[in-house]
Structure 1
Amino acid sequence: MNIDDHAEDLASDLGVDKQEVKEGLENLVEYSVPIDEAKQSLRRKYGGGGGGESTGPSAADIADIDTESGSVTVTAVVLTVGTRSIRYQGDDHTILEGELADESGTISYTAWEEFDLEPGKTVTIGNASVREYEGRPELNFGESSTVEPADEPLDVPYEVGGDRDLAELRAGDRGRNVEVQVVEVETRTIDGRDGETEILSGVLGDESARLPFTDWNPHEELSEGASVRIEDVYVREFRGVPSVNVSEFSTVTELPDPIELGGPTRMALRDAVGRGGAYDVELQGNVLEVRDGSGLIQRCPECGRVTQKGQCRQHGEVDGEDDLRVKAILDDGTATVTAILGRDLTEQVYGGGLEDARQQARDAMDQEVVADSIREEVVGGEYVVRGHLSVDEYGANLEATAFRPADDDPAARAEAFLAEVDA
């Protein structure tokens, strides 16, 4: 049964205009509300809660809620509260979002009305619908829901408040606060929802990690080298790693003391791949292979993609521009990743520049000899690679920012590993 049929049946049952009901259903379904729950919500709105379709939302523990739960009533502690503006069907809406917890677990939420939500407060939320967000269930509550102080406060084993180190942030976090140094920042112009818009983008750092950020409402305090406290940020995934988003509702305050920056996070490949990506990570392993598409390559002058036999996947036949690249398979015994070296790092490994590579290819009448030279240099060696790791349907790829031979003692590392196992 399609939306039109559902709307016709529901309008007839409630005695209201079909088009009005259809628009209401479409609005709810667009936000991933299941059709049965959407119909129940409209029945409550128009005072027609009968019809045998709804027995009312049941009380639920957070751990028992899944994307099929429909409508629930939850008593929970508010862990975080963030504020954000979104555009829905051409109109701007201010929403509250964050995380709730009871003794059984945590769940994210979006509140479509200005409910009295404060970190640390225990509330009972009635008639909250459940939708999927970032692959997990999320509570949504609005005009048909109730939010009341609970009779008794809950004691939950979770941190109240949004303060986090950068290394603790995960995609989907809302209402977080960070104290960071602005490592890099630039002003960019994008095509926003209201036309051309200036934003800030760059890198933030603290002792634990570095992460990319975007400021959608530029704050002048976010200048390169500044140490600041940013309250009420939300986190999205960008190229497989968390990205900090600063909005018009975020506050930025300069700190009296500088934030110290930590170095890159050294991780085993298995751990880095298992977390779905990492920004400014350092991995160590052996180069097992230099993949095809390395050495002297050609890129499309329009989009920068690597061409194959003069063909760009997007722009068709093009006159490619020469470039240098290495795609090396790195293995540490726990997992493998593809380390991608751009021109500068490739020149270091190759021992020559772009013109040297062209000359070698001309002499051999085969540009593959450049990749062969690189293979002879690096395959079998152990290297430390620093960069940004993304993990997606194309595999685990590390965009390298540094590449150097490992300088530690393998025997000492083996002894340390065995001591760890024995412990």
Structure 2
Amino acid sequence: MSDELERAVNSVLDAVPGADRDAVLDEFERYQTEFLMGPKAAVRSVITRIQRSTPGAVDDASTARPDQAPQPAKQVQSFAELVDGDRNVTLEAFVADHDLVERNVRGEMMTIGRGRLEDKPNEPRSQRTSIQYTDWGNHADVLRPGSVVRIEGASASSWQEQVRLEINRSARVTTLQASSEPIIDRSEPLTIEQASSIEGRVSIVARIVSNDPRTINTKDGRAIEVRSGRIADSTGMMTYTAWDGLDYSAGTLVKIRDAQVRRFRNLPDLNIGRTTIIEEYHDAAFPDLETLSDHSKVAIKGLKDGMRDVEIVAEIHQITERQVNVKGEKKTIHSGELIDPTGRCRFTIWSDAVSIEEGDLPLPVHIQGARVSSWQGIPDLAVDSMDNIERLDTSPWESIDPEDHWVEAMLDDLVKGPSRQSVEVLGSIVSVGEDSGPILRCPECRRVLVDDACADHGTQDGIPDLRIRMVLDDGVAAMTALLNRAAAEALLEMDRDAVVSTIKESGREAWLSDLRDRWLARRVRIRGRTRVDEMAGYLLADAVLFEGISDMSVETVRARWGI
């Protein structure tokens, strides 16, 4: 027995009085065989496992020795079901990231895989839980980012109080759904555009655009001081978080090696940790800071929930003071509306010291260091104080009328992009939904009642309403449009009471059939806003105008959409 193993065994016996020495040795041997982990690296995990298998070591420990009988297979649907010490685990997962790294195991350099998995692969990504994994069995050909896999015979361990999945040498990994994502060579520096599309280890050559102190509050109440900001190259911009500081000023060109791209609300962020290597880089052809700063400004149509350190030029068209409750204390803030040629959005200044009056509006401003949250699906740009806002003498564009500010957009851009306001689209009606017509809404939550009952609030006296659901197709993409009562009554040229009377006389099916005969293949111009998430995208219409007949016949539309 080596001195290192002897010390590790004694550490476990000291930590778990009454533990069986042979069982401890068996555990160290298992970690060495299955995970290539030496005694020093495995000691914490061995202590945890021995505590669970030693009577009286912990309150809920089992009295059964793990080497007395094989552990049955554990079928896992959600990663929340995993606990440290689980063995023979079977699960299906989406591979979010896989990377190969070199690791020194008992003096020998070995290549192992590591990355991140997401459970519930058939659910939207917003409803999944992720977990870090280590692949000890050289399954790189199967663990392709973007693929769905079935893993059998894995185990769970714990590191820094986080459960991890260990894909052992004996584990079986099979592909359920192949990946369509391109393979990117990470051995060389990537562009920011490339790095933004993946997760995991990357190297990047970029110029630092901003570098500011930031405090992160952890779940256990600790405050961690980090540096954060933006880096940029000719292909784009990315935010970063430097956990051990970053001693380079804005404008410095750097080469960053072995950083990690992580995603928050589906937005990439470069994590710079202790193992990351950063060095100043020299390239006379690399764009300067002024050029990159101009490129890094965001238009309103590009704002996404979760963005931070946002720089934008826009006009303030509305601003009001209001009181909010923050952690039990009243706080005065200012909120209003921003407009630029690409759209409009809400904004909030979290300060009572705001030197903007109604007479100043519309006011062109240059905003820096802002962040984006979402309110009812609408981007809300948050600014800490007036220090982040610079007044501009003139607007960089011609005058915008806020009462008639509609931005033409293609459905393909709206479906793939973030939620937006003040959009105008042109397309053909290819479907009218079965649920169109008079409805009743819950007075508590505005949900549609089914059999006079709300799923959350039970039986209710509903609020009468009217809606139309249709599908719009512009030849490239399609999107569901929802018409509220005002828009529906205007398009139908009849109010809700008249619609109810018509349905009573002829029946709902006849009423819907008449709508389809008159509307299918008609071209319409819709003005409103979009609400887009990982599940679907909707066009919430304020107004709908007929534009004529499309190139598609009614019969073609019916055949294509199965109506």
- Relative to the length of structure 1, the TM-score reads 0.69
Checking the alignment, whether the CA contact within 8 Å between 1:132 and 1:138 is kept in structure 2 is yes
CA contact (8 A) 2:302 2:418 kept: no
How far apart, CA to CA, are the structure 2 residues paired with 1:216 and 1:315?
A: 35
The CA deviation string for residues 5-58 of structure 1, in whole angstroms up to 9 with x for no partner, is 99xx99x8489999xxxxxxxxxx9xx89577xx9x99xxxxxxxxxxxxxxx9
Q: Is the 8 A contact 1:82 1:175 kept in 2?
A: no
- With over 3 angstroms needed to count, the CA separation of the structure-2 counterparts of 1:187 and 1:298, relative to structure 1, is farther
Deviation at 1:273, TM superposition (A): 2.0
Larger radius of gyration between Structure 1 and Structure 2: 2
Q: Which residue of 2 aligns with 1:141?
A: 272
Q: Percent identity?
A: 25
Equivalence map 1:30-41=2 (5 Å): 34=132
Question: Aligned runs of 1:48-63 on 2, under 5 Å?
Answer: 61-63=189-191
Q: Name the residue aligned to 1:261.
A: 400
Task: Please show how residues 281-292 of structure 1 align to structure 2 within 5 Å.
Answer: 281-292=423-434
Hey, what does 1:23 align to over in structure 2? none
- 2:544 is matched with 403
SS across alignment from 2:228: strand
Q: Residues 87 and 333 from structure 1, CA distance in 2 versus in 1: closer, same or farther, beyond 3 angstroms?
A: same
Give distance in 2, aligned partners of 1:238 and 1:337. 22
CA distance in 2, matches of 1:353, 1:209: 31
Question: In the alignment, which of 338, 341, 353 is matched to residue 483 of structure 2?
Answer: 341
1:246 aligns with 2:380: no
Distance in 2 between residues matched to 1:81 and 1:235, nearest whole Å: 19
Q: Select which of 278, 292, 297 maps to 1:163.
A: 297
Secondary structure at the aligned position of 1:344 is classed as helix
- Quick one: distance in 1 between partners of 2:333 and 2:514? 43
CA distance in structure 2 between the partners assigned to 1:373 and 1:313 by the alignment: 32
Instruction: Please state whether the residue corresponding to 1:298 is helix, strand or coil.
Output: strand
Q: Which residue of 1 aligns with 2:369?
A: 232
What amino acid is the match of 2:337?
A: V
Pairing 1:212–2:346 present:
yes
- Cα distance in 1 for partners of 2:311, 2:550 equals 41
1:296 aligns with 438
Deviations for 1:311-343, whole angstroms, at most 9, x for unmatched residues? Answer: 212222222111111112222222221211112
Amino acid at match of 1:152: H
The one-letter code of the counterpart of 1:182 is I
Q: Which has the higher contact order (CA 8 A, sep 6+)?
A: 1
Q: Residue by residue, what CA displacement relative to the aligned partner does 1:334-371 show, whole Å, maximum 9, x if unpaired?
A: 2221211112212212323344445555x539677776
Alignment-mate amino acid for residue 405 of structure 1: F
1:364 aligns with 2:505: yes
AA partner of residue 177 (structure 1) = E
Q: CA deviation at 1:392?
A: 3.4
Q: Is the 8 A contact 1:296 1:370 kept in 2?
A: no
Given the superposition, is the C-alpha separation of residues 85 and 189 from structure 1 closer, same or farther in structure 2, using an over 3 Å criterion?
A: farther
What SS class does the counterpart of residue 443 from structure 2 fall into? coil
What CA distance in whole angstroms lies between the structure 1 residues aligned with 2:131 and 2:385?
A: 28
CA distance in 1, matches of 2:351, 2:546: 43
Decide which of 232, 237, 241 is 1:110's aligned counterpart. 241
**8 Å contact 2:234–2:292 — kept in the other structure?**
no
Partner secondary structure for residue 229 of structure 2: strand
Count how many residue pairs are aligned between Structure 1 and Structure 2: 374
Is the Cα–Cα contact under 8 Å of residues 343 and 420 in structure 2 kept in the other structure? no
Q: Does 1:175 align with 2:309?
A: yes
CA–CA distance in 2 between the matches of 1:127 and 1:406?
Answer: 55
- Whether contact under 8 Å (1:119, 1:160) holds in the other structure is no
Q: CA deviation at 1:270?
A: 2.5
1:88 matched to which residue of 2? 218
Name which of 354, 374, 384 aligns with 2:525. Answer: 384
After superposition, what is the alpha-carbon deviation per residue over 1:85-143, rounded to whole angstroms, capped at 9, x for unaligned?
Answer: 5533335556543332468876431134663454321235577444334446532236x
Paired AA for residue 310 in structure 1? D
Counterpart of 2:200 (choices 61, 65, 68) is: 68
Q: Are the equivalent residues in 1 in contact too, given 2:300–2:343 (CA < 8 A)?
A: yes
Alpha carbons of 1:93 and 1:376: their partners in 2 closer, same or farther (altered >3 Å)? farther
TM-score by length of 2: 0.54
Change (3 A) 1:179 1:336: same
Contact (CA 8 Å) 1:296, 1:367: kept in 2 or not?
no
Structure 1 unmatched ranges of 5 or more:
19-28, 43-57, 412-423
Distance 2:492 2:302 in 1: 38
Deviation at 1:185, TM superposition (A): 4.6
Given the alignment of the two structures, is residue 315 of structure 1 paired with residue 457 of structure 2, yes or no? yes
Give the structure 1 partner of residue 24 of structure 2: none
Render the CA deviation track for 1:366-403: whole Å, top value 9, x for unaligned.
67777667556644432100111233354331011222
Q: Is the 8 A contact 1:182 1:223 kept in 2?
A: no
1:154 and 1:15 mapped to 2: Cα distance? 48
Change (3 A) 1:75 1:205: same
Q: How much does 1:201 deviate?
A: 4.5
Amino acid at match of 1:255: L
Tell whether the 8 Å contact from 1:76 to 1:101 is kept in structure 2 after alignment: yes
> 1:135 and 1:186, CA in 2 relative to 1: closer, same or farther beyond 3 A?
same
1:351 to 493, 501, 513: 493
- Asked if the contact 1:81–1:174 (Cα under 8 Å) also holds between the matched residues in 2, the reply is no
Contact 2:309 2:370 in 1 (8 A): yes
CA distance in 2, matches of 1:289, 1:17: 60
Q: Which residue of 2 aligns with 1:97?
A: 228
Q: Indicate if the aligned counterparts of 1:383 and 1:404 stay in contact, CA closer than 8 A.
A: yes
1:330 to 459, 465, 472: 472
Instruction: Find the residue that maps to 2:490 and give its secondary structure.
Output: helix
The answer (yes or no) to whether the contact 1:212–1:244 under 8 Å persists in 2 is yes
Contact 1:80 1:174 in 2 (8 A): no
Distance between the aligned counterparts of 1:286 and 1:392, measured in 2? 23
